Amino acid sequence: MGANALAIMPPLVNVNGTISSDTTWTLADSPYILTDTVWVNEAVTLTIEPGVVVMGQANATLRISGHLQAIGTTSQPITFTSSANTGAGEWAGLEFHGGTGDLQHTVMRYGSGIWIQGSPTADPVTIADSVIEHNNDYAIMIETDNIHRLALSNVRASNNVTDRVYLHANDWDHAKLAQNTRLTAVPLMDGYEFSSYGLNVPENITLTMDPGVLLMGAENSVLNVNGHLEAIGTVTNPITFTSSANTGAGEWSGVAVSGTANLTHAQIRYGQENLQSYSGTVHLFKSTINHASSNGLSVHDGKVMAACTTFNANSSNAVYINSGNTPAVTLFSSQISGNGNGVNNTNGQSVDARNNWWGDASGPSGDGSGSGDTVLGNVQYKDWLTAPACITFD
Divide the 394 residues of the chain into consecutive groups of 10 and give the mean pLDDT of each group.
Answer: 45 93 98 98 98 97 98 98 97 96 98 94 93 98 97 98 97 94 97 98 98 98 98 98 98 98 98 97 98 98 98 98 95 98 97 98 98 98 97 72
Q: Whole-angstrom Cα distance, residue 336 to residue 357? A: 6
Q: Would you say 187 and 163 are in contact if contact means Cβ atoms under 8 Å apart?
A: no
What pLDDT does 6 receive?
38
Peptide bond into 360 cis (omega under 30): no
What pLDDT does 13 receive?
95
Rg over alpha carbons for the chain, rounded to the nearest Å, is: 26
Q: Whole-angstrom Cα distance, residue 210 to residue 205? A: 16
What pLDDT does 3 receive?
40
Backbone angles phi, psi at 332, to 5 degrees: -140, 135
- Per DSSP bridges, beta strands 23-25 and 45-48 are parallel
Q: Would you say 132 and 140 are in contact if contact means Cβ atoms under 8 Å apart?
A: yes
What pLDDT does 394 receive?
54
